[in-house]
Chains A and B, each alone.
Chain A
Amino acid sequence: MVRKLLRYLAMEHNKAVSLYRRINRPGGKEWAAYMRRHGGFYHFGTDCSMIPSTVVVDPQYTWIGDRVCMGSCTLICHDGSIEMLNQRYGVRIDRIGPIVVEHDVYIGEGATVLGGTTIGEGSIIGAGAVVRKSVPAGSVVTGNPAQVVAKVENVIRFWEAESQQYPWADLIARRQGAFDAAMEPELCRRRQEYFFRDMS
């Protein structure tokens, strides 16, 4: 009941949001729906997923496409160093650029995306990557500075083939989406058995 009320207040009126975050612990889909309405983004597409610990410093200069999934990452459009530069050197510098995250992009845990970059459709930004220049559509990038390490189309072929080799492949073949709570206990049991088979 309390959760329903908190959800209503946050979603409909943008009120009691910190309580809503603490008590309800909204999942990625729900938090993205909240951010779409109240996050102050220049554009925020539909059917996205965003972990609440994601940090978007300049949502007003950030364009997010449809079905974008974000782990606990950071998006910063401005260069914070100008505060010091302008103060110490008496200059008047402005350094800021938009971030465009096109449709169907995944941004991994701990990745940082800097202003003036576009992440092309269907790309994967690996965990901890620091994106300092635009990413071509359909790329996998990792590292700092983020570099293209593979094409998504190739990765799909390999990961699909490898998935079919797992002892729990039959469950994955039946699973809808990336998580099924009902299937999870059996999936976890089989994975543990496989992962730690050589441990005494």
Chain B
Amino acid sequence: MSQLQSELQTVFRQVFDDDSLVVTEATSAADIDEWDSMAHINLIIAIEKQFDVKFSAAEIGALGRRGQTVGNLMQLLQSKIG
């Protein structure tokens, strides 16, 4: 597991209050019961804080689309933190 993925998993575990949560690139909202539209907002905000990045309106819109995975999120994050 990459450093990024591991850090991301820590954020997921905090937001969803579940220390046993394992996230992979394929994980999507369909895999986590509590990942609804409100949790999604809290998750993205927590990621912004953790990685000290700010997502644009277009990026937020894209992340909210159906079928988005942790892989997509990691790619976006990678492009922002370099």
Listed in ascending order, the chain A residues whose CB lies under 8 Å from chain B are 140, 142, 149-150, 154-155, 157-158, 160-162, 164-165
A165 touches B41 (CB 8 A): no
B38 with A161: CB separation less than 8 A = no
Q: How many A-B residue pairs have CB under 8 A?
A: 38
Leading 5 A-B pairs by shortest Cβ distance: A165-B61, A161-B60, A161-B57, A149-B38, A161-B61
Judge whether A155 and B41 touch: CB under 8 Å.
Answer: yes
Interface size class of B (residues with CB under 8 A): 10 to 19
Q: List 20 A-B contacts (CB under 8 A).
A: A149-B42, A150-B38, A150-B42, A154-B42, A154-B45, A155-B38, A157-B60, A158-B40, A158-B41, A158-B44, A158-B64, A160-B57, A161-B60, A161-B61, A161-B64, A162-B61, A164-B57, A164-B58, A165-B61, A165-B65
Complex Cα distance A155/B44, Å? 11
Interface centre among A140, A158, A162 (most CB of B within 10 A): A158
